[in-house]
Each structure stands twice: as structure tokens, then as C-alpha cells.
Structure 1
């Protein structure tokens, strides 16, 4: 049936045809960002624990071997779970169609490279920095990169401009970083070790953005983005292991508890949480929510790992981060364009 005839029939059934001068129907109320923000915080807490696990594993297996094991385990778990999921084949078919029509670029499917770099950074620096310091080192990179990702529209949906509200949330995150760093007695050493986590935080926001685009192209089925992330990350780590084996020699792993090998399981939770939340509240807000979860998780993990209790500066940083994330996740009240004028 032709589209015009269908539209005419529906308008006739409604009792009147739409008039050009009639006011637009009321918009549906904006969905609250509280639930996806909570999911992002939970994913961040899992990321804090993953950093500890991979850092401990890197101490007795080597950073590259630890990262390769973590990514391989994540890929294996995600692949097995895929057999029990419905709608995965149509999702991949939609993804291939988007790639062929150039609605999605091939580099959008390479977010796992950033994830692999994140796992490698965890194994290299997390044990030396500690859970709280490693977490705070990610804040600046994720915040600055998240603002850029949203403003340029690299994530799913329409671009989210750097409005006053979003800039205020980002400023709160920067303040949250400054509080514990300035209070630390060894701030210089912490900043030197934090270069890699800072770059990993920038890459993590980019990964969240491109994984969100893959999720959107696959019909909002999160698993193609998850599988592609772990596949590309594992390929990167396996290549690094081969290069390290040829150029030198892999360190001989020492014995350690079994929970040191569980980082790949936590990685599945982190990536899935990122894919599901970025589609609702954007790259920056989801990233700050995950950072807040990381800070809260690191504060809880410190005493459990035998470290001294967190000082008041770190607790204040966690509170400021949560406020900043809540400001960014709040739904915007978009104004309707005025007749005869330009839209915002």
C-alpha cells in the first residue's frame, strides 16, 4: 500500500487531517537518567575491582601476559553466553548492513583496542598506584575526552553540546581530582605514574562512544559491541605476547590465588554496563558515573587489601564526583523551536 494513502487513511480515522498551523502535540516527558546512572556506577565499581585483580596478576605473571589472559577470558565468556541469547543473528546482520551502507565506519568496531590498552595499563600501574590513586588518575582523561566525544557526536544519538550544565559537571569532576592529589604527600610521584592511566581514561571514553555507535547500528542489541570489543582487545594482546616472546622472553609466572585470574569476568560486566548506559545518558555522564563507582569501590577495597583507611580528601572527591555525574545525567528540557525562527 502506498505511504501517502496510508497516512491519509490514518488522518481520516483520527477524525481530522493535521493542519499546518496547528500546534505540535505535546512531547513525551524526558526519561530520567537515574537508572542508567546507577548502572554506570555499578560498572565502575566492577572496574575498580578489575584493576586490583589485573594489577595483582601482573605482579606474578608480567603485565602483558596478565592483560592477554584477562582479554582472552572475557572473549571466551562472552562467546559462550552468545549461544544462549536471542536475536544475535539479526543484530549482526543489521551491523553488517550499516557497514556496507557506510552508516557505520570500520574504525567504529575497533573500540576493543582501547579496552586492551586499559587492561594493560591496569597490569602495569594499578598495583604501584593503589586502587584509589589509579582510579583518580583516570578522571581527568575520561572527563576531557567525554566532553569532546559528546560534543563531536562520536557516540550514539545526536551530539550533546557543551552547555553550562555539562561544563559545570565537568568542572566538579576536575575539582574532585584536585582534592586528593593536592593533599597527597607524594603528589609528584603519583602524577608521574598517572600518565598511562590518564591516556587510558581518554581512550576509554572513545571506546564507550564507538561501542555505543555499534550498539545503535545493531538495533540496540549490546552483544555485538561486547564481542567485537573483546575480540579486538584479545587480538592486540596476543600480538603483544608474540612480539614480547620473539624479542625477549615472557616472565615465568609465579603461583598466586585463583581470584587473581578473574579479571576477565569483571571485564564482561564493565563493557556491558558501558554499552547499556552510554545510549541513555551519553559518553560523559556514563563515564563520570563509572568513575564515581570506581572511586567508591576503591575506597571500599583499600581496607580489605590491608591499606590504610581512606583520608577525608578521597571521600570528598567521591562525593563531588557523584554530584557532577548526577548534574550531567539529568534530562535536559529542550525548547521547541519558535515559528518563523531558527531552532536552537
Structure 2
């Protein structure tokens, strides 16, 4: 039998016996945590650059075959590639079961699965306007719409995670993003026509913010990126094929024709863009992934400008617009936002 221990005698005035304190525990920071955040960040930048290149590819194809045919081909190719990928993956079946459970319980609504409509509209816009605007002006208009409407998506809480209030600072950033488009647009030879064309990618950028939000909700409910990617391209393909069908009713059915093989690779780039967005949002959050993709879009567009024969004066204005846009993104970001490396599904 063990007797209870008695406190030792302490001289008067020395105070009570201090209880032993456990050593201070610092937040765990596993080795390579910085690298675990840097890799998704680099993937998001690469996805943004792929989106800038996709606009060039689909724009060139649209010049020869028509915007609707180019968009339908790009989305159909993306859908075929993603559908074929199911043969090599093991997670899609339980992911779709989890998604079905979320829909039945109304934790997720059916319209959350229609984000691909925005993607299909964006591909149509690429084929209609990218060749005329040039990659820099197109990407700046697209990104300005993403930034401005991204503030609204955060405020309304349409994406995964808690809502982020639309402060005056963030609204100022969104408005500055819109102003950043004016420099390259007004530098164009036909400013009036260019401005009218820039409205389309701006609206497409607004739609992309909504697509990113709802795809994040689908990915969160399914626990796997595959359903969000597949449903995104399925909805986009349905939209573009319907557009081609309607157009064919009033004119001749468009033909893909001949041309360089790389003109037909927009769908592959589209797979990379959507997959990078879904994967990086899961790991570093909507904010960090969105800012990284925007950086990739702007940098990619500025590099592609001279390669596609953009006039030097127009390219200089695009560089100035890109600098303004970076400032707009900094303003639009919530104060104190930080990268959450290895935070699981923190969105």
C-alpha cells in the first residue's frame, strides 16, 4: 500500500509550493511545412499561366473554325480526357457516393454542380475575343472580373469556408482592378471596339469566380477532386455543344478543318487549369490559390504578348496595367491573410 506523500516543510515567508508546469508546447510545424505550401502555390501559378496560353490556343482555333466550334472542341476534348482518367483512379466511386449523400441531405444544392457553365462560357469568350484583344488585354479583363466579383463571392459566402466581409479596402481593390484594364484597352488602335470586346472576358472573369466557389463546395462535399472536375467539363461541354447546335440551325455546320496541331490542344490546357484550381484550393485556401492563379495569368499573358506579335506600345500599356492589377489584388486580399500550409481542407 502506498502512503500519500506529505508536503515538505518550507521556511516561513517563502510562499506556497509551486505546482510543476508542463513545458510550453509550440505549434507543431512539421519538417518541410514551407515546402508543402510552396508546391501548391507553384501549381496555382502554373495553372494561371496555362489559362493565359489556353486563351491564345482557343483564339487561334476560333479564327479558322469559328468561336463556337473551337469552344465545343476544347470542352469535348477536356471531358474525354477527364472521363478516361477514371479508369486509372480508385477514389471516384466513393467520392460520387459522398456527393450524392450531400445532395440528398441538401448540404449541397444541385446548382453547385453547374460551375462548368461558367467555364464553357469562358472558353466561348476566349475563342471570340482573345485573338483580337491579344493575350495581355484578354487576361487583364478576365482577371479584373475575377478580382471584383471574387470580393462579392467571399462576402456572400458562396464558396467553402466562412464568409469574408467586403470592406472598403477590398472594394477599392476590385475597382482598381477594373481600372487596370483601361490602359491596354485604350492603347489599342481601335479603342472603342476593343473596349466593347473587353466586356466579354470581364463578365467571363466574374463567372469564373462563381465557378471556383461552387467547385470548391463540390470538392469539399465529395472529399475528392474528381467529381468537381468531371461535372465542370460535363456542364461546359453541354453548353458549348448546345451553342453549336443552335448556330448550325441558322447557318452551315462549322468544320474544324486543317491547321497546326497545337491549335487543337486547348482542351488539354483546360484540364490542367481546372485540376490545378481544385487541388490548390484544397491545400492553401481560396484566397492564396486565387492570387497565385492571377499572378500566373498576368505573367503568362505578358510573356505571350511579344510572341504573338503584339505591338510594343500595346505591350507597354499591358505591363503598366499588370502592375496596377497586382496592387488591386493586394488591396482586395483580406488584411492579415496568410498562407495556411498543410491545413488540410482549409478554404
Report the TM-score range of the alignment, normalised by the length of the smaller protein. 0.7 to 0.9
Residue 61 of structure 1 is matched in structure 2 by: 65
Given the alignment of the two structures, is residue 265 of structure 1 paired with residue 264 of structure 2, yes or no? no
Given the alignment of the two structures, is residue 202 of structure 1 paired with residue 206 of structure 2, yes or no? yes
Change in 2 beyond 3 A, CA 1:71/1:167:
same
CA contact (8 A) 1:47 1:266 kept: yes
RMSD, aligned CA: 2.7
Rg larger for: 2
Change in 2 beyond 3 A, CA 1:238/1:178:
closer
Given the alignment of the two structures, is residue 256 of structure 1 paired with residue 235 of structure 2, yes or no? no
1:107 to 83, 98, 111: 111
> CA deviation digits over 1:41-98, x for unaligned, max 9?
2211101110111111111111111111100100111111222123221111111110
Residue 332 of structure 1 is matched in structure 2 by: 337
Residue 81 of structure 1 is matched in structure 2 by: 85
Q: Distance in 2 between matches of 1:330 and 1:279?
A: 21
1:156 to 156, 160, 164: 160
Residue 236 of structure 2 is matched in structure 1 by: 233
> CA deviation digits over 1:92-151, x for unaligned, max 9?
111111001000000000001111111111111111111111112213321221111111
**1:325 offset after TM fit, Å?**
4.1
Residue 218 of structure 2 is matched in structure 1 by: 214
CA contact (8 A) 1:61 1:254 kept: yes
CA contact (8 A) 2:60 2:263 kept: yes
**1:291 offset after TM fit, Å?**
2.8
Secondary structure, in 3 states, of the residue corresponding to 2:319? Answer: helix
Given the alignment of the two structures, is residue 244 of structure 1 paired with residue 247 of structure 2, yes or no? yes
Q: Distance in 2 between matches of 1:35 and 1:295?
A: 20
Gaps of 5+ in 1: 1-24, 334-344
1:316 to 292, 315, 320: 320
Change in 2 beyond 3 A, CA 1:282/1:320:
farther
Q: Bigger shift: 281-290 or 44-53?
A: 281-290
CA contact (8 A) 1:155 1:282 kept: no
Residue 151 of structure 2 is matched in structure 1 by: 147
2:303 to 296, 300, 303: 300
Count of equivalent residues:
307
CA contact (8 A) 1:292 1:321 kept: no
Q: Bigger shift: 187-196 or 94-103?
A: 187-196
CA contact (8 A) 1:142 1:205 kept: yes
TM-score, normalization by structure 2: 0.79
CA contact (8 A) 1:179 1:314 kept: yes
1:126 to 117, 127, 130: 130
Given the alignment of the two structures, is residue 90 of structure 1 paired with residue 73 of structure 2, yes or no? no
Q: Distance in 1 between matches of 2:177 and 2:39?
A: 20
Q: Distance in 2 between matches of 1:27 and 1:163?
A: 31
CA contact (8 A) 1:41 1:293 kept: yes
TM-score, normalization by structure 1: 0.80
